[in-house]
A and B are shown apart, each in its own frame.
Chain A
Amino acid sequence: MSITLSKAAIFEAQAEKATSWRNRLLALPALVIIGIFGVLPLLIICVYSFLQAAPYGGVQWKFSTDAYLNFLFQRDIFDDTLQFTPDFLIIYLRSFLFAVVTTVICLLLGFPTAYFMATRPPAQRNWWVLLITIPFWSNLLVRTLAIMFIIRDEGLINNALMGLGLIEKPITMLYTNFAIQLGLLYSFLPFMILPLYSSLEKLDFRLVEAANDLYATRRQVLWRVIIPLSLPGIIAGCLLVFIPALGAYVTPLILGGGIHLMIGDLIAQQFGSGRNWPLGCAQALILMAAVLVALYFYVRNTSGKIQHG
């Protein structure tokens, strides 16, 4: 090989090396901030979950697996045996059920809405997107409060029904499972619509014409063409609803009134009145594990899709 190879090729290699280091340096501040104040705390609660609770909150630096044992068992005060206590497990299962129902109903309402939005003319479409985006970013606490005002005993629904003489005593809706379910649906509906919309917006609607041309009816086009093509958006939307619904905190706090707990307020309780930080950490990690399982299926699903086509 000739000597002429060197100059330009070496220059290029040097320039590349320099920019690669510069780029790393640029990303560093963000990575350091999230690393110290986002990742490190997660590691700390991993450690905390294996420590003993201090009597007035906080932890004692003694190794213990009590937190995980306490999740399923309770130590009998008299004979020190472990007794199976499913209280926490029930809260987890109930939260899971709430999250699943929320996801399914949001999908049933969100898909037609997103499809309708995606088939509007562009100018109208922008308005729809803005109208769905506003609740997406609006204060969750305030939106939950709005639901509370409507379903309270002296709220709008009961007032209206009594005013019409349909009922004599208000129907109790607040602080019930129904209230939590309604609140979750209301909170997370925009989280389903927007990802579905962004996947349907990219759909080539000439395919619908082609399917129609080949004798498919409207419903057949929907099931055989549109839904399979928007599957990545459907999965993304389901995940964006399921994960925050599973870990919901504000909704059960306000609409469940501390009577019907979900995982979120259970965890918060251990750091407040429960004064059992290790237990709270263990509960948080178990929730995190559930989220990671959901994410794992998402990643496996989407990467499989990419290989397909």
Chain B
Amino acid sequence: MTIKPEQNLPPRAGFLNGVVVPEQPGKNAIEVRGVRKVFGTGEAQVAALDTVSVAIRENEFFTLLGPSGCGKTTLLRLIAGFDFPSEGEILLYGEDIAPLPPFKRPVNTVFQSYALFPHMTVAQNIGFGLEMLGKPKAEIQARVARMLKLVKMEALAGRRTSQISGGQQQRVALARALAPQPKVLLLDEPLSALDYKLRKEMQIELKRLQHETGITFIFVTHDQEEALTMSDRIAVMSSGKILQVGAPRDIYDRPAERFVADFIGETNFLKGTVVSKKSGVASVKLASDATVAAGFPEGFDPSGAVTVVVRPEHADLVADAAKGTVAGILANVVYFGTDTHYHVKLDGGDNFIVRHQNSRSGAVAFAPGAKVGIVFEDDGARILRD
């Protein structure tokens, strides 16, 4: 069974024309079903992926986010065909591609190291996939020219890949992977080798390319900021499992688990005991005897000792300690330019950080050692699974 690119494809009017194909709801480009991947045998066996299921929609910019060793690259390699799942199915537009070798999958990869062929020119690199597909010469030339234009590399078509800069190599790697018009583009931490400024530039560039080509992007990164800024949806992974899938805002504001809250952004963790609960909101008594109302994820029934999380920017300082939800002594003030962090030692003994956006006028003046109160925004406190 071979799926050739450009067969069984939905109409892709948007490709290269700047016209976006409207998303067809419910249509999945990739569906991963119950995939397990174990490496090694016997006692040395390690499960790199532990029964993962996820559906990635057509035309989506989907990000696999997690610390190194969480299985995100393994999942990408299974989709690309460099490894084969020990169990489970990987469906591409409904067809199981798990047993297909990489050269029979209409899926292309941008490698972390770019993996540009050092003995070929930029144009030869970009044309390689089309050549392997047996396209006529004229078509290859035309497509390579369009690709060069797309990534703004027309001037360097004849250069060897060793003669261009890292950012340019990155563009060539992108063009090379996009040239055969894959159904899905896989990107394995493609920006990690670039310096900060270039990385920011390429983030925008990638979004533009995805928009213009209308191809489904699956992007792997360990950089939470990168994931939040670029993705339509994010899957947060840890120890071979997907912990949460959702839009960036969902993941940040309503993390499903303690790991997700801890991995993405900064978070305050407060210990407490559930006193009462009704319709998604629980009353939790904290170590300082203060009681806060905290939301919790669906399908989770908190009771007894729990941890309450509050984002530093979802809280604010008040001078009158009595008016705060919780109170404590201001221990340290750290200036960050765009904002200021206030480190507060709470009455119960927990540490708490409040982030305050700086502005020219309303400078909030609190001195270390002062007794302060902290107020939480509505829905700012949440109870999470550990």
Touch between A and B in complex, CB under 8 Å? yes
B residues contacting the other copy or chain, number (CB 8 A): 12
Q: Are A5 and B87 in contact (CB under 8 A)?
A: yes
Q: Are A1 and B87 in contact (CB under 8 A)?
A: yes
Choose, from B94-102, B272-280, B360-368, the stretch at the interface: B94-102
Q: Please indicate the chain B residues that have their CB under 8 angstroms from the CB of A36 in the complex.
A: none
A9 within 8 A of B: yes
Q: Please indicate the chain B residues that have their CB under 8 angstroms from the CB of A15 in the complex.
A: 101
Complex Cα spacing A285 to B89, Å = 61
B85 within 8 A of A: yes
Q: Are A4 and B101 in contact (CB under 8 A)?
A: no
Tell me whether A8 and B98 are in contact in the complex, defined as CB-CB below 8 angstroms, given that A1-B87, A2-B34, A2-B87 are known contacts. Answer: yes
B162 within 8 A of A: no
Q: Are B84 and A8 in contact (CB under 8 A)?
A: yes
Q: From B34, B87, B96, name the one whose CB has the most chain A CB atoms within 10 angstroms.
A: B87
Q: Are B84 and A12 in contact (CB under 8 A)?
A: yes
Nearest opposing residue in chain A for B98, CB measure: A8
Give the A-binding residues of B (Cβ under 8 A): 33-34, 84-89, 96, 98-99, 101
Q: Are B98 and A7 in contact (CB under 8 A)?
A: yes
Q: Are A4 and B34 in contact (CB under 8 A)?
A: yes
Q: Please indicate the chain A residues that have their CB under 8 angstroms from the CB of B85 in the complex.
A: 8-9
Q: Are A8 and B34 in contact (CB under 8 A)?
A: no
Q: Are A5 and B99 in contact (CB under 8 A)?
A: no
Closest 10 A/B residue pairs (Cβ): A8-B98, A12-B84, A11-B99, A8-B84, A7-B99, A8-B99, A5-B87, A4-B89, A8-B85, A4-B88
Q: Are B84 and A11 in contact (CB under 8 A)?
A: yes
Nearest opposing residue in chain A for B88, CB measure: A4
Q: Please indicate the chain A residues that have their CB under 8 angstroms from the CB of B89 in the complex.
A: 4
Complex Cα spacing A2 to B51, Å = 12
Complex Cα spacing A136 to B107, Å = 51
The smallest beta-carbon distance between A92 and chain B, in angstroms, is 49
Nearest opposing residue in chain B for A13, CB measure: B84
Q: Please indicate the chain B residues that have their CB under 8 angstroms from the CB of A5 in the complex.
A: 86-88
Q: Are A9 and B33 in contact (CB under 8 A)?
A: no
Q: From A2, A4, A5, A9, name the one whose CB has the most chain B CB atoms within 10 angstroms.
A: A4
Q: Are B34 and A9 in contact (CB under 8 A)?
A: no
Complex Cα spacing A2 to B35, Å = 11
Nearest opposing residue in chain B for A11, CB measure: B99
Q: Please indicate the chain B residues that have their CB under 8 angstroms from the CB of A4 in the complex.
A: 33-34, 87-89
Nearest opposing residue in chain A for B96, CB measure: A7
Complex Cα spacing A2 to B87, Å = 8
Complex Cα spacing A63 to B17, Å = 89
Would you list 9 pairs from A and B whose C-beta atoms are within 8 A, ordered by A residue?
A: A2-B34, A2-B88, A4-B89, A5-B86, A7-B96, A7-B98, A9-B87, A10-B99, A11-B99
Q: Please indicate the chain A residues that have their CB under 8 angstroms from the CB of B99 in the complex.
A: 7-8, 10-11
Nearest opposing residue in chain A for B85, CB measure: A8
The smallest beta-carbon distance between B102 and chain A, in angstroms, is 11
The smallest beta-carbon distance between A143 and chain B, in angstroms, is 39
Q: Please indicate the chain A residues that have their CB under 8 angstroms from the CB of B96 in the complex.
A: 7
Nearest opposing residue in chain B for A14, CB measure: B99
The smallest beta-carbon distance between B261 and chain A, in angstroms, is 33
Complex Cα spacing A4 to B96, Å = 10
Q: Please indicate the chain B residues that have their CB under 8 angstroms from the CB of A11 in the complex.
A: 84, 99
Complex Cα spacing A1 to B34, Å = 11
Nearest opposing residue in chain A for B33, CB measure: A4
The smallest beta-carbon distance between B74 and chain A, in angstroms, is 14
Q: Please indicate the chain B residues that have their CB under 8 angstroms from the CB of A10 in the complex.
A: 99
Q: Please indicate the chain A residues that have their CB under 8 angstroms from the CB of B34 in the complex.
A: 2, 4
The smallest beta-carbon distance between A267 and chain B, in angstroms, is 49
- 18 more A-B residue pairs beyond the given contacts A2-B88, A8-B84, with a C-beta to C-beta distance below 8 A: A1-B87, A2-B34, A2-B87, A4-B34, A4-B88, A4-B89, A5-B86, A5-B87, A5-B88, A7-B98, A8-B99, A9-B85, A9-B87, A10-B99, A11-B84, A11-B99, A12-B84, A15-B101
The smallest beta-carbon distance between A16 and chain B, in angstroms, is 10
Complex Cα spacing A4 to B34, Å = 9
Q: Tell me the chain A residues, 218-234 only, with Cβ under 8 Å from chain B.
A: none
Complex Cα spacing A11 to B101, Å = 9
The smallest beta-carbon distance between B374 and chain A, in angstroms, is 49
Q: Please indicate the chain A residues that have their CB under 8 angstroms from the CB of B33 in the complex.
A: 4
Q: Please indicate the chain A residues that have their CB under 8 angstroms from the CB of B86 in the complex.
A: 5, 9
Q: From A5, A8, A15, name the one whose CB has the most chain B CB atoms within 10 angstroms.
A: A8
The smallest beta-carbon distance between B82 and chain A, in angstroms, is 11
Q: From B33, B89, B101, name the one whose CB has the most chain A CB atoms within 10 angstroms.
A: B89
Q: Please indicate the chain B residues that have their CB under 8 angstroms from the CB of A12 in the complex.
A: 84
The smallest beta-carbon distance between A22 and chain B, in angstroms, is 15
Q: Please indicate the chain A residues that have their CB under 8 angstroms from the CB of B87 in the complex.
A: 1-2, 4-5, 9
Nearest opposing residue in chain B for A6, CB measure: B99
